[in-house]
Amino acid sequence: MAGIIGKNRGTPDLAFDADPHTGVWVYDSYPARGKSGWRVVGGTSVAAPSLAGVINSAGNFYASSAAELTAIYADLGPGVGFSDIVSGTCYHYAGYLAAPGWDYCSGVGSVSGYQGK
């Protein structure tokens, strides 16, 4: 990471499935267009609260997002709760490629457990 962004924080920090085509099923009890029911949703609307739930379940309860990210970046390495995404592109931003370690496509990787959070 330091070879890419120096001593600055890079974004993205983490990866999470935000593709609405591979989203999650939710039950919408508020009638949209007169109908309530099950819908597939994705994007940031799924990724952000899901990731927040994983981090909250880890139980560290840091005082800020900055403190949480400091802990995540300080404890990187194999088996620390992230799966490093090592190949692929950033969809529309195909100029960016996933690579071992931190990258502009997937940050430190996708969540795979509580350790390191």
pLDDT tens track for 3-50: 766 677 777 888 887 777 878 888 888 877 778 889 888 888 888 888
Token digits for 10? Answer: 């890079």
Which letter, b or e, does each residue of 33-72 get, where b requires 16 or more Cβ atoms within 10 Å of its Cβ?
A: eeeeeeeeeeeeebbeeebeebbeebeeeeeeeeebbeeb
pLDDT for 2? 62
pLDDT tens track for 65-114: 888 888 887 776 665 678 888 888 887 766 788 888 888 888 888 887 66
